[in-house]
Amino acid sequence: MSLSDRLTELREAKKVSLQVVADAVGVSKTHVYELEKGSANNPSLSLLVGLSDFFEISIDDLVGNIVYQPAKLDVIRAFVSSDSIAVSHQSLGQYRRSILKLC
């Protein structure tokens, strides 16, 4: 998921306006709108920190980095090694979406 999609998702989930987010992180409403639409590139680290603080999530979560936890890896291993699918290096791509849903 892209930063723009994630920002929109988080803002809508929190039920706040663009202006509320902008005021909280110290940028213009237009800048937040551009971030959500993907037309603003390379936000500053301080802006990412402000957004992650506002939404109470990690920067990794904000920018869409998946942090694998051991319990999730066990579920993925069980899925991949199950008899219900045959996974080879070549066919792994088609199962990628199913595996990521487990995360």
- For residue range 56-68, what is the model confidence (pLDDT) as tens digits? 888 888 887 765 5
pTM for the model: 0.63
Of 50 and 90, which is predicted with more confidence?
A: 50
How distant, in Å, are the alpha carbons of 11, 17, 24, 75, 92 from that of 98?
A: 27, 33, 37, 12, 10
How confident is the model over 9-55, as pLDDT tens digits?
Answer: 999 999 999 999 999 999 999 999 999 999 988 899 999 999 999 99
Taking the C-alpha atoms of residue 93 and residue 40, their distance in angstroms, rounded to an integer, is 31
- Predicted pLDDT of residue 47: 94
pLDDT of residue 79 exceeding 80 = no
